[in-house]
Chain A
Amino acid sequence: MENRAIFSGRLLAPLLVLPQLAVSLIFFYWPAAQALWQSFLVQDAFGLSTEFVWLENYVALLKTPEYYHSIGVTFVFSTLVVAFSLAIGLLLAVMANRNIKGVQIYRTFLIIPYAVAPAVASVLFIFMFQPGLGMIARALQRAGIDWNPVLNGNHAMILVVIAAVWNQISYNFLFFLAGLQAIPKSVIEAAAIDGARPWRRFWTIVFPLLSPTTFFLIVVNITYAFFNTLGIIDTATEGGPNAATQTLVYKVFQDGKAGADLGSSAAQSVILMIIVIVLTAVQFRYVEKKVHY
């Protein structure tokens, strides 16, 4: 990069970076800094005076059982979403990587969920799982299951997990397929000559060679489950019933909307920021590795 600077434009170059710098400073750095600053403040009940209280908001937050409940919900939700969407994506990619007819048509269908907004995906599944009228809800009720996501927390969790997994399959499928296609055929042929059957070849050769892709996808999927699923939860359950589907991001959203405790809401945001920064840093380490090898 150092030798490329060919034009010298002391006037033009700053003008070219100005729009992006301005947008970043106003809508990124300024709000992030404000969240950080507010997380150290306590406001009185009328919003008239504020006091700097160091980490008191964080300490108070970590003392509330609701916060731990929300951490638990986030953990269960993300684990299920990441595990199922990766497993299904990988299975479909392995099958689509075979030299079979019609792969293009399968692929075209399988990328559709990526284009569907999380909130809209949620609506599609509400329509199937709504007690009394949804096709699958009625089938479940006929089978003797008292299906009701509006009242039953576990059912609500299952509903949002299914919608989130469906929404994320395309992404994992495409990245696994790209990863599989990058594995040299000769490696697999060599193993076949050595007498390894397909099942064994997959677990001893293909899967290990795929591990950078898998690792990258785990990080991206955790980020997805944490942040991009807010539309799904808001549309299907609004975090309920009894906060059974209230993830950390949804809690920030609800607390902030209620507008009660600015400091606590800011502290929650800052904790989430730290989580994303760690995830992004991990992701970049992976990219660097891929560049080197």
Chain B
Amino acid sequence: MVEHRRFGNLLPHIVLLIGVAIVAFPVYLAVIGSTHNDVVISNGQMPLYPGSHGIETYWKTIVSGTGKTTREPVGSMLISSLIMAVGIAVGKIAISIISAYAVVFFSFPFRMTTFWIIFVTLMLPVEVRIFPTYKIASDLHLLDSYSGLILPLIASATATLLFRQFFMTIPKELVEASKMDGAGPIRFFFDTLLPLSMTNIAALFVILFIYGWNQYLWPLLITTRDDMQTIVIGIKKIIDVKDALTEWSVAMATAVLAMLPPVAVVVLMQRLFVKGLIETEK
């Protein structure tokens, strides 16, 4: 820094520690809550350290379900969430990379029209066109199916724009050299373009995985069967703020399980995450 401070960097440390405390405390409390029994929690007597009912609660939450309600165990919801998140990430990357490839490296009729048709989809989040989209999905018999969960959410241009921007930085000479070696467009794509795009693909995957895992409104509408539900919407049914019989330990265990995969992805792949976040939003 520019000048020496007498007290070192005390202020930033204090502010950042308070920030970390605010961020971490609700998560910590959920973890603690999932290890105590419901009576202790409902009385408001939950201590700030872990209890001894953790294994029991998680077993009940994931595998056996609970007696009090007719609710499904969360295990199948975790699988639905995983399929949906990976499906959205892989699907969106796949359709985006090939359309960006076509738009940047090919000349074909209506090339710019195509680009604009895709570009405009950037404009509207699924929330504002939700019911007509629901009607179409239902007409196409996509309710309670993974394609129904995934397809409508991959209709957006963010990934296409990112790949397009990246492809445009690839020197023309590279393509010509590849052509001189006798490579056609398909070989150029697999041998040259795809390996060069790996960092971008990985960064996008991280962002899209989180986006997919955390979806709320769409899975809420399109799934009616309990075993198709994702964990993020399953949690709402466990909590009823007006009902004193809420099984808080199960609710907190479910919250922890719902947070674990995306938080792990963000923390373990931090550099890719930051790259993906800042580049897709530009």
Report which A residues bind B (CB closer than 8 A): 1, 3-10, 12-14, 16-17, 19-21, 23-32, 34-35, 38, 88, 91-92, 95-96, 98-100, 102, 106-121, 123-128, 130, 132-135, 138, 149-150, 166, 169-171, 174-175, 178, 188-189, 192, 220, 223, 227-228, 230-231, 234-237, 249, 252-253, 256, 265-266, 269, 272-273, 276-277, 280, 287
Contacts and interface: CB of A to CB of B under 8 A. Distances in A.
Contacts of B108: 8-10, 13-14
A8 B132 CA distance: 38
Contact of B132 (A6, A9, A34): A34
B29 A123 contact: no
Given A6-B176, A110-B23, A192-B2, A269 B105 contact: no
In the A-B complex, the 6 residue pairs with the closest CB atoms: A117-B214, A31-B132, A231-B216, A5-B107, A16-B102, A13-B106
A169 B16 CA distance: 13
B80 interface: no
Contacts of B15: 91-92, 95
B194 interface: no
Contacts of B12: 95-96, 98, 100
B258 A95 contact: no
A17 B236 CA distance: 39
Most B C-beta atoms less than 10 A away, residue of A108, A120, A127, A175: A120
Contacts of A117: 213-216, 232, 258-259, 262
B185 interface: yes
B274 interface: yes
Given A138-B44, A236-B241, A287-B282, 11 more contacts: A6-B175, A6-B176, A7-B188, A10-B108, A13-B108, A16-B98, A28-B129, A31-B136, A121-B26, A170-B23, A265-B131
B145 interface: no
A127 B152 CA distance: 33
A286 to B, nearest CB: 10
A276 B241 contact: no
A281 to B, nearest CB: 9
B16 A175 contact: no
Given A92-B19, A235-B235, A23 B155 contact: yes
Contact of B136 (A27, A102, A266): A27
Contacts of A95: 11-12, 15-16, 19
A24 B121 contact: yes
A130 to B, nearest CB: 7
B127 interface: yes
Contacts of A1: 104, 168
Given A1-B104, A9-B185, A118 B214 contact: yes
Nearest to A177: B274
Interface string B231-271: 01101100101100000100110010011001101110010
Contacts of A20: 95-96, 98-99, 118, 160
Contacts of B99: 16-17, 19-21
B133 interface: yes
Contact of A135 (B46, B131, B133, B232): B46
Given A12-B106, A174-B277, A110 B95 contact: no
B259 A115 contact: yes
Contacts of A178: 274, 278
B198 interface: no
A191 B273 CA distance: 34
A77 B128 CA distance: 18
